[in-house]
Amino acid sequence: MRKKKIRILHVAQAAGGVDRYIRILLKYLDKEKFENILVCSQDYHAEDYKCLVDSFEQIEMSRAIGGNDLMAIGQVRKLIKKYNPDIVYAHSSKAGAITRVADIGLKNYCVYNPHGWAFNMRCSNKKRIMYTAIEKMAALFCDKIICISEAEKQSALEKKICKENKLQVIFNGVDIEAYECGKHGAVKRKELGIPEDAFVVGMVGRISSQKAPDVFVKMAKFVKDEVPNAHFIIVGNGNQEAEIRKYAEDNDFSENLHITGWVDDPMSYIELFDVSCLLSRWEGFGLALPEYMMASKPIVASRVDAIPNIIRNGENGLLVNVDDADGASEAVLRIYQENGLQDKLVAQGLKDVHDRFDARRVSEEHEKLFNKEMD
């Protein structure tokens, strides 16, 4: 019987969804059995991890590939030697590459979670080939790769990243307990200039190509033509914000489009939605989907990558084709007009989020993996 705690050193570069994932994972890992150290980029905030980790270390680590990567590899290797962990757990592709190189020759169990494969992004063929080659090479230097959906596992097998026995699927999850016990209604419609009787359609995600905000606003125009009191919320920020605002202005509904910017807790805004959307062009998982379910919101989502692993068309949401603004608007209007459809989708979504996407289950599955490998 193992008496001492299992020491895990987590390495993370990307913030946003990965940051939230790590916080929830650490929250429900058994603190009597596990000691956690976080090595992260400057995008993370120590106060967020005050009660979650035993040690917090920040290093220079950027998303872009560059000369600083060699320095980051050296810093991570130094910290691995300093803490001598039982398990090294790398989160996201950049931290994954740096950590696995840094860990070469050191005695520990190395786990990698890409949180969505970089080679599945919409990018040039040259970049896709490069990302695939990096993943194949780096896979040689870890013991287990966590896939956040079945679609991610299939992508790895199709690209021959590694043998199947190195892959394990652990679905993402949301903190149902914190949400159900927390405060609701923190944000009011009137604060955004939205009438109480408005029909509100929203999305959570970066305002960048992946999340298809351009498709969302085209859909919004079609819906606004049919439902004059419709309003639209985008919870997030990103490099396409000016373009999105201009489209709304050019099509005379800028006063009905509300962009919140980045927020730490999107649930307060999701509660304002009547219909929630995730119209991504590619998606490793789509954490917004179980968040929508948790808030009892009907869902319209794109039929791509991992999303059909989560959304079953006509059961817990409606699926539309990628880049199909017409189809998305028809689905939104169907929920608005069809008696009983919203209640049906919401009821099944609530059941699914409790059965399949509870954050406690994510931590429990990690504990089983860690305990198995350390026994």
Write the burial class of residue 209 (CB in 10 Å: 0-12 exposed, 13-18 middle, 19+ buried): middle
Q: Within a domain: residue 88? A: yes
Give the integer Cα–Cα distance in Å for 350 and 315: 11
List the one residue out of 225, 213, 291, 215 whose CA is nearest residue 259.
213
Residue 41 lies in a domain: yes
DSSP state for residue 312 in the 8-state scheme: P
Q: Provide the CATH number for the domain around residue 73.
A: 3.40.50.2000
Q: Do residues 88 and 161 share a domain? A: yes
1 domain residue, yes or no: no
| Domain membership flag for residue 44 | yes
Statement to judge: residues 138 and 206 lie in one domain: no
Using CB atoms within 10 Å of the CB of residue 31, give its burial: 0 to 12 exposed, 13 to 18 middle, 19+ buried.
Answer: middle
Successive 10-residue mean pLDDT values, the chain, 375 residues: 83 86 94 96 93 96 78 96 98 94 96 89 83 93 94 94 96 92 88 96 94 97 97 95 97 97 90 97 90 97 94 98 98 97 98 95 96 87
Q: Do 111 and 227 belong to one domain? A: no
Quick one: 169 and 317 in the same domain?
A: no
Instruction: Quote the CA–CA distance of 48 and 351 in Å, as a whole number.
Output: 30
Report how far apart, in Å, the C-alpha atoms of 249 and of each of 213, 217, 225 are: 15, 11, 15
DSSP letters, 245-311, are HHHHHHTT-GGGEEE----S-THHHHTT-SEEEE--SS-S--THHHHHHHTT--EEEE--TTHHHHP
Q: How many CB atoms lie within 10 A of CB 195?
A: 11
Our count of domains for the chain comes to: 2
Q: In this structure, is residue 40 part of a structural domain?
A: yes
Neighbours of 127 (CB within 10 A): 13
> Vertex 233, ends 228 and 237: CA angle to 5°?
145
169 and 24 housed in the same domain: yes
Continuous segment of H or E residues that includes residue 234 = strand 230-235
Residue 74 is encoded by which pair of tokens?
């050296």
pLDDT for 184: 84
Query: Do 344 and 363 fall into the same domain?
Result: no
104 and 141 inside one domain = yes
Q: CA torsion 71→76→81→83, rounded to 10°?
A: 140
Residues 101 and 246 in one domain: no
Q: Which domain, by its residues, includes 279?
A: 178-356
Residues 234 and 121 in one domain: no
60 inside domain: yes
Backbone angles phi, psi at 35, to 5 degrees: -110, 130
Question: Is 106 in the same domain as 225?
Answer: no
Tokens coding 349: 């979504």
Q: 205 and 126 in one domain?
A: no
Structure tokens at 218: 């085209």
In the block, residue with structure tokens 């009983």:
340
Per-residue model confidence (pLDDT) at position 3: 62
- 332 C-beta neighbours (distance < 10 Å), count: 27
How is residue 337 written in tokens?
Answer: 């007009």
326 falls within a domain: yes
DSSP-derived 3-state class of residue 10: strand
Q: Is residue 109 part of a domain?
A: yes
Q: Taking Cα atoms as reference points, which of 174, 119, 170, 113 lies closest to residue 144?
A: 113
Question: Computed over its alpha carbons, how large is the radius of gyration of the chain?
Answer: 21
d(CA 23, CA 344): 32
Is the same domain home to 64 and 166?
Answer: yes
Bridge partner list, 246: none
